[in-house]
């Protein structure tokens, strides 16, 4: 997916998407995130029967949807939902790729092809639960991030928990340049993985654990995020 010349850098785009609050480039590492910034969610085909009119009416402005995984998998709901969400008036649509241990450059090509004209891109770095697939390595994550940067001019957002990013990956100057989307289902701000000095987005609940709100109108209980 080649970004248009007039598109904004990733962090600035996402910052505007939450009315100059969400995912801002301002350092966030200690204070409590502003409550106003609870207007984002990340979902996939696991969330059934999405009502986009209710989503918009409920005040949600940003959806980050799974697009791809590994070299071949495509979330079958991604394209239709992107079109439906935009038709309903969603302000910003993000796409994420679940990375595995296969070739990072090839994964990026697969992701970019499906993500299309998403407003911003993210890569999900975590332990792979599939017995038939391997967990992403630092080397392949670097290749994935670099390939996205070469194609778009911008590094992708990286999603992960402090535990995974610190204990499963080795230190990387490439990955450290990617904006951090940190997962921590606690009522207090998350700790920082060692490669980053701030985070731009905090996944504070999986729809069950973590502080409320857990529910998005029109979707139900799901992952929710704030800055």
All residue ranges of the chain with pLDDT < 70 are 1-38, 132
Query: Looking at the domain assignment, is residue 31 inside a domain?
Result: no
Is residue 157 a contact partner of residue 178, using CB atoms and an 8 Å limit? yes
Query: Looking at the domain assignment, is residue 23 inside a domain?
Result: no
Domain residues for the domain of 178 are 40-226
Query: Looking at the domain assignment, is residue 75 inside a domain?
Result: yes
Q: Name the burial class of residue 95, with classes exposed (0-12), middle (13-18) and buried (19+) by CB atoms within 10 angstroms of its CB.
A: buried
**pLDDT for residue 48:** 92
53-102 pLDDT per residue, tens:
999 999 888 999 999 999 999 999 999 999 999 999 999 999 999 999 99
**pLDDT for residue 146:** 98
Query: Looking at the domain assignment, is residue 157 inside a domain?
Result: yes
- The pTM assigned to this predicted structure is 0.83
Distance CA 214, CA 223 (A): 7
Q: Rounded to 5 degrees, what angle do the CA atoms 225, 8, 176 make?
A: 60
Query: Looking at the domain assignment, is residue 111 inside a domain?
Result: yes
CATH number assigned to the domain comprising residue 210: 3.20.20.80
**pLDDT for residue 180:** 96
Distance of CA 168 to the CA centre of its chain: 19
In the chain, how many domains are there? 1
Give the chain's length: 227
């Amino acid at each position: 997916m080649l970004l248009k010349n007039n598109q904004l850098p990733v962090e600035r785009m996402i910052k505007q998407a939450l009315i100059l609050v969400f995912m801002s480039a301002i350092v966030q590492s200690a204070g409590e995130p502003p409550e106003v910034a609870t207007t984002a969610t990340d979902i996939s085909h696991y969330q059934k029967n999405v009502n986009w009119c209710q989503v918009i009416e409920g005040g949600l402005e940003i959806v980050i949807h799974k697009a791809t995984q590994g070299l071949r998998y495509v979330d079958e709901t991604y394209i239709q939902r992107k079109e439906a969400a935009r038709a309903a008036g969603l302000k910003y649509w993000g796409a994420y790729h679940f990375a595995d241990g296969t070739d990072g450059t090839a994964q990026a090509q697969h992701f970019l092809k499906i993500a299309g004209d998403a407003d911003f891109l993210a890569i999900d770095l975590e332990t792979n639960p599939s017995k038939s697939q391997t967990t992403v390595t630092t080397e392949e994550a670097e290749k994935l991030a670099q390939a996205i940067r070469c194609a778009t001019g911008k590094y992708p957002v990286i999603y992960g928990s402090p535990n995974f990013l610190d204990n499963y990956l080795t230190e990387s100057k490439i990955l450290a340049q990617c904006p951090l989307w940190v997962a921590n289902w606690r009522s207090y701000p998350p700790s920082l993985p060692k490669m980053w000095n701030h985070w731009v987005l905090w996944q504070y609940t999986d729809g069950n654990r973590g502080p409320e709100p857990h529910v998005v109108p029109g979707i139900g209980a799901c992952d929710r995020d704030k800055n």
